[in-house]
Protein backbone atom coordinates (compact mmCIF):
# COMPACT_ATOMS: atom_id res chain seq x y z
CA UNK A 1 0.00 0.00 0.00
CA UNK A 2 1.03 3.63 -0.26
CA UNK A 3 1.56 6.16 2.55
CA UNK A 4 -1.67 7.74 3.74
CA UNK A 5 -3.82 4.82 2.55
CA UNK A 6 -5.08 1.93 4.70
CA UNK A 7 -6.75 -1.02 2.96
CA UNK A 8 -8.85 -3.72 4.64
CA UNK A 9 -10.58 -6.50 2.74
CA UNK A 10 -14.10 -6.98 4.10
CA UNK A 11 -15.03 -10.11 2.13
CA UNK A 12 -13.83 -11.97 -0.93
CA UNK A 13 -16.10 -14.43 -2.72
CA UNK A 14 -16.04 -16.43 -5.92
CA UNK A 15 -16.59 -13.43 -8.17
CA UNK A 16 -15.77 -10.23 -6.28
CA UNK A 17 -13.77 -8.61 -3.47
CA UNK A 18 -15.20 -5.92 -1.17
CA UNK A 19 -12.61 -3.54 0.28
CA UNK A 20 -12.59 -0.63 2.75
CA UNK A 21 -10.08 2.17 2.07
CA UNK A 22 -9.13 4.90 4.52
CA UNK A 23 -7.24 7.79 2.95
CA UNK A 24 -5.59 10.52 5.02
CA UNK A 25 -5.89 14.05 3.67
CA UNK A 26 -3.24 14.39 0.97
CA UNK A 27 -2.91 10.60 0.57
CA UNK A 28 -2.40 9.63 -3.06
CA UNK A 29 -2.94 6.45 -5.03
CA UNK A 30 -0.61 6.83 -8.03
CA UNK A 31 -1.82 6.12 -11.54
CA UNK A 32 -2.13 2.40 -12.19
CA UNK A 33 -4.22 -0.16 -14.08
CA UNK A 34 -5.60 -3.60 -13.34
CA UNK A 35 -7.95 -5.90 -15.25
CA UNK A 36 -10.65 -5.70 -12.56
CA UNK A 37 -13.76 -3.56 -12.80
CA UNK A 38 -13.86 -1.33 -9.71
CA UNK A 39 -16.98 0.31 -8.29
CA UNK A 40 -17.12 2.32 -5.11
CA UNK A 41 -18.92 4.79 -2.91
CA UNK A 42 -17.69 7.58 -0.67
CA UNK A 43 -18.73 7.21 2.97
CA UNK A 44 -16.89 10.25 4.36
CA UNK A 45 -14.48 12.85 3.01
CA UNK A 46 -13.68 14.13 -0.44
CA UNK A 47 -11.51 12.51 -3.14
CA UNK A 48 -10.37 13.62 -6.59
CA UNK A 49 -10.23 10.75 -9.10
CA UNK A 50 -8.59 10.74 -12.49
CA UNK A 51 -10.06 7.94 -14.62
CA UNK A 52 -8.64 7.77 -18.12
CA UNK A 53 -8.77 11.36 -19.38
CA UNK A 54 -11.57 12.41 -17.00
CA UNK A 55 -11.23 14.00 -13.58
CA UNK A 56 -13.96 14.15 -10.93
CA UNK A 57 -14.30 15.09 -7.29
CA UNK A 58 -16.49 12.75 -5.24
CA UNK A 59 -18.15 13.38 -1.87
CA UNK A 60 -20.23 11.31 0.59
CA UNK A 61 -23.04 9.49 -1.18
CA UNK A 62 -21.33 9.62 -4.60
CA UNK A 63 -20.56 6.38 -6.42
CA UNK A 64 -18.15 5.74 -9.26
CA UNK A 65 -17.16 3.02 -11.72
CA UNK A 66 -13.67 2.38 -13.07
CA UNK A 67 -13.59 -0.07 -15.99
CA UNK A 68 -10.86 -2.70 -16.07
CA UNK A 69 -7.56 -1.79 -17.73
CA UNK A 70 -8.25 1.98 -17.58
CA UNK A 71 -5.47 4.08 -15.99
CA UNK A 72 -6.67 5.78 -12.80
CA UNK A 73 -5.40 7.60 -9.73
CA UNK A 74 -6.81 9.32 -6.65
CA UNK A 75 -5.91 11.97 -4.10
CA UNK A 76 -7.75 12.52 -0.82
CA UNK A 77 -8.67 16.18 -0.43
CA UNK A 78 -9.57 15.46 3.21
CA UNK A 79 -9.62 12.37 5.44
CA UNK A 80 -11.85 9.93 3.55
CA UNK A 81 -13.47 6.51 3.80
CA UNK A 82 -14.38 4.57 0.66
CA UNK A 83 -15.93 1.14 0.13
CA UNK A 84 -15.11 -0.53 -3.19
CA UNK A 85 -15.96 -3.76 -4.94
CA UNK A 86 -13.64 -5.37 -7.49
CA UNK A 87 -14.68 -8.02 -10.02
CA UNK A 88 -13.33 -10.52 -10.66
CA UNK A 89 -11.69 -11.31 -7.32
CA UNK A 90 -8.55 -9.33 -6.41
CA UNK A 91 -6.41 -12.29 -5.34
CA UNK A 92 -3.71 -10.01 -3.91
CA UNK A 93 -6.30 -8.52 -1.50
CA UNK A 94 -7.82 -11.86 -0.45
CA UNK A 95 -5.66 -12.33 2.67
CA UNK A 96 -5.84 -8.77 4.04
pTM over 0.85: yes
Per-domain boundaries in the chain: 5-89
Express each pLDDT in 46-72 by its tens digit.
999 999 999 999 999 999 999 999 999
d(CA 36, CA 77): 25
Class for the domain spanning 5-89:
mainly beta
3-state class (DSSP) for residue 68 = coil
Q: What average pLDDT does the segment 16-34 reach?
A: 96
Residues 87 and 36: beta-carbon distance below 8 Å: yes
3-state class (DSSP) for residue 11 = strand
Express each pLDDT in 7-22 by its tens digit.
999 999 999 999 999 9
Amino acid sequence: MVPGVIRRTLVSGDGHTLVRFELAAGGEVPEHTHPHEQAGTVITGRVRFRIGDREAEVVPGDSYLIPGDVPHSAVALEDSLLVEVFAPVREEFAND
